[in-house]
Amino acid sequence: MRARLLARSARQRATPPGPGYKWVALSNTTLGVLIATVDASIVIISLPAIFRGIGLDPLAAGNIGYLLWMILGYLLVSAVLVVVLGRLGDMFGRVRIYNLGFLVFALASIALSLDPLRAGAGALWLILWRIVQAFGGSMLTANSAAILTDAFPSRQRGMALGINQITALAGQFLGLLAGGLLAAVDWRAVFWVSVPISVTGTIWSYLSLRETAAGGRGRVDWLGNLTFASGAGILLAGITYGIQPYGGHPTGWTNPLVLTGLIGGVFLLLVFCVVENKVAEPMFRLSLFKVRAFAAGNLAALLTAIARGGLQFMLIIWLQGIWL
């Protein structure tokens, strides 16, 4: 099986794609990014209907964890894995990882829409499959830009990446709107909507996308992957539980477990930085931040994400409390 896949990739690279391939790549990756970002936000506004549907009060004693992980589980996994999966795409083939991401996303969407359980078990089912869905979505978002970079000439690359990023931004707001409208029909419809799109995208990407750049079969930076994923995951989990009430306080920043998570997460990320500066084939080259354009672009993206998050928060309140 592996030999056939390698032979297929070699044949694809040996035969240059036609002039229309770049538009196929743009269309498919835009669809992938759109569905991944829509699903990142569609559940947030639908939570009241979802919890009513599975018969669980998320604000009751002991249930707040279900609420937090339903909100942040998808986002946490996406934040932790996107760098790792992008690197794996560089090594083993961007289209291959992207196609696998569409397949994982489609299967998770089907499982979410078929939740057979109730109460806490039903919530755990949704949280688990949302995490799997986030894994597939991370494969899509981590490799879509690289696929476009390979497909488009340098003079059109900015346009293609711009369309892709605008779609990602639009998807986060469309998810809020779609979630509110679909939840009013049936809470399962929030997950149904992803099924036909993701299944279509899976088949389309497998039939139309091709490897146009040779994968760099280097060594996997296991220590870098482990320290980054665990450090970022522990840090974000600590922040997640830090906003939960603890010991009579409205927040949990004095919780020893939260403090341990925050300190431990930062420590592991510092270890990650040390590791990446020492290994021959790092997961991520930190020296890129010495490039002014790269550093400024990432800073701008961070500030944009912060502003977008605040706007989403206000939009959720408006949609839930006023319009819907």
d(CA 37, CA 145) in angstroms, rounded, equals 14
d(CA 126, CA 111) in angstroms, rounded, equals 8
| 8 A C-beta contact, residue 295 and residue 156 | no
Largest CA distance in the chain: 66
Question: Sorting pLDDT into bands at 50, 70 and 90, what band is 217?
Answer: low
Question: Sorting pLDDT into bands at 50, 70 and 90, what band is 324?
Answer: very low
User: Which 3 state secondary structure label does DSSP give 246?
Assistant: strand
Of the candidates 106, 167, 117, 162, the one whose C-alpha atom is nearest the C-alpha of residue 139 is: 106
Global confidence as pTM: 0.79
Other CB atoms closer than 10 Å to residue 250's CB: what's the count?
9
Of the candidates 229, 208, 213, the one whose C-alpha atom is nearest the C-alpha of residue 284 is: 229
**Superfamily of domain 21-214 in the CATH hierarchy:** MFS general substrate transporter like domains (1.20.1250.20)
Q: In the chain, what is the straight-line distance between the N-terminal and C-terminal CA atoms, in Å? A: 51
d(CA 135, CA 140) in angstroms, rounded, equals 9
Bridge partners, residue 249, by sequence: 246
pLDDT digits (tens, 9 = 90+) for 57-99: 877 767 777 877 887 788 788 877 877 787 777 777 888 888 8
